[in-house]
Amino acid sequence: MPVQYGHIDGEPPQPVFLRTEYYRAGTFFPPRRQPWAELNYALEGVSEITIEGIPFLSPPHYAIWIPPGFRHEAVNRHDIRYATAYIEAALCADLPAEPCTLALSPLLKAIFADFDARGVRHPQSDADLRLAMVIVDQVRSAPRVLHYLPSTDDPLLAPVLQALQDDPGDKRSAAEWARFAGTTERTLARRAQDLLGMPFNDWRQRLKLVTALSLLEEGHSVQSVSHRLGYGNASAFIAMFRRLTGTSPSQMRSSQKKGPSE
């Protein structure tokens, strides 16, 4: 049974509050609403948060944005280390008004890492307050999508996505999936772009990454994961993983084994 984690709401931002935490699998964050915004991103693992009943998830390099007042909850299925910034509502006027997934810049991640290394949670000095405002600026300018791995109930596209979720290693081409759906490759591509906000093959790559992260956390070898995802060799899988996360599967696994205090 999941266990509830206490003191999950952090401290009121004045104007920003930051923290980096490590949580074990099964940690439960009960539903709550807050008068400030949250930016959450995973340093290790996949961040999964349900906002107003809609599931959001993001691997490293992406963050989940929760504007003030939105009801959200989470259960960690796997160990995870992630960073959070709470931003007071007065700074959110021109930030995203709806929950979404944001692509993180190296600058934003570097600022988080700097605050964490120095143990700064409530920026107080003029220099730290300026850095905190850069975080707000980075949220404002970050490329955004509704979900990292969006879904749809479209009668043409949904069966294709479900079949891929059942077997992420299915090697059928886009043209073959179009025939499976009873349509043309061009129509399938247009429907994916319109309804998912990204090309069909990009969605497939993201599905493979999310699946890989879960399998690696469960202890499967890199070789077995690459085979399960349909790669002819582990090198091709590692290249995909590094391109989307900035690290290799073995490096990510090593950092997870060390835990937060090592």
pLDDT for 79 equals 75
- Tokens 């990454």 sit on residue: 209
CB 229 within 8 A of CB 211: yes
Transcribe the chain into DSSP letters: --EEPSSTT----SSEEEEEEEE-TTEEEEEE--SEEEEEEEEES-EEEEETTEEEEE-TTEEEEE-TT--EEEE-SS-EEEEEEEEEGGG-TTS-SS-EEEEPPHHHHHHHHHHHHTT-SS--SHHHHHHHHHHHHHHHHS-EES-SS-----TTTHHHHHHHHH-TT----HHHHHHHHTS-HHHHHHHHHHHHSS-HHHHHHHHHHHHHHHHHHTT--HHHHHHHTT-SSHHHHHHHHHHHHSS-HHHHHHHHHH-TT-
pLDDT for 10 equals 63
Cα of 142 vs its chain's centroid, Å: 14
pLDDT in tens, the chain (262 residues): 433 433 445 678 989 999 998 888 788 889 999 999 999 988 877 777 889 988 787 777 789 999 999 999 987 766 778 899 999 999 999 999 999 989 888 899 999 999 999 999 999 999 999 999 999 999 999 988 777 788 888 999 999 999 999 899 999 999 999 999 999 999 999 999 999 888 999 999 989 988 887 788 678 999 999 999 999 999 999 999 888 776 788 876 665 454 433 3
